[in-house]
């Protein structure tokens, strides 16, 4: 299993640079995917990113597979004009809390900042198979407000 590298390692620096290049090339495209556009904003021809960087692909899959509690998300605060980063409570009905006062003018920049923040927050072994449990809506998954 590939460990999640600390942000000061060469592997992490390479992945951060690749992630940044991909998010920059996707500006103007709705949503977020980690691929490089041959022409910025045009997804007709894509390369790089998760298609070519196996470690980046695996790390992103593990980040996305973790439970919702504590996850960082992008929230659009003004339609198509402003975005901010927030943290999910993991409890249904409890709204997320903004983590910074920084306001973004596109949805790709906060995605990259979240990637870097999560590299720093996650342990090298987060998302290893031994951390997963079968089933969903378990009683301890905080599906209701108590």
Whether 95 contacts 115, CB under 8 Å: no
Burial of 133 (0-12, 13-18, 19+ CB in 10 A): exposed
Give the chain's mean pLDDT: 86
For the record, the structure tokens of 7 come out as 């942000």
The rounded Cα 98 to chain-centroid distance in angstroms is 15
Q: Tell me, yes or no, if the pTM score tops 0.85.
A: no
Note the pLDDT tens digit of each residue in 108-131. 999 999 999 999 888 887 767 776
């Amino acid at each position: 299993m590939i460990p999640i590298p600390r942000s000061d390692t060469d592997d992490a620096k390479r992945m951060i640079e690749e992630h940044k290049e991909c998010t920059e090339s996707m500006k103007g495209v709705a949503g977020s995917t980690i691929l490089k556009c041959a022409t910025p904003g045009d997804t007709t021809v894509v390369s790089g990113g998760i298609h070519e960087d196996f470690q980046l692909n695996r790390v992103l899959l593990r980040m996305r597979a973790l439970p919702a509690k504590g996850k960082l998300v992008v929230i659009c605060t003004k339609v198509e004009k402003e975005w901010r980063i927030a943290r999910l409570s993991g409890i249904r009905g409890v709204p997320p809390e903004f983590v910074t006062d920084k306001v973004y003018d596109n949805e790709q920049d906060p995605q990259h900042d979240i990637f870097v923040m999560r590299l720093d927050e996650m342990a090298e072994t987060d998302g290893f198979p031994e951390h997963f449990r079968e089933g969903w809506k378990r009683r301890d998954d905080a599906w209701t407000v108590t």
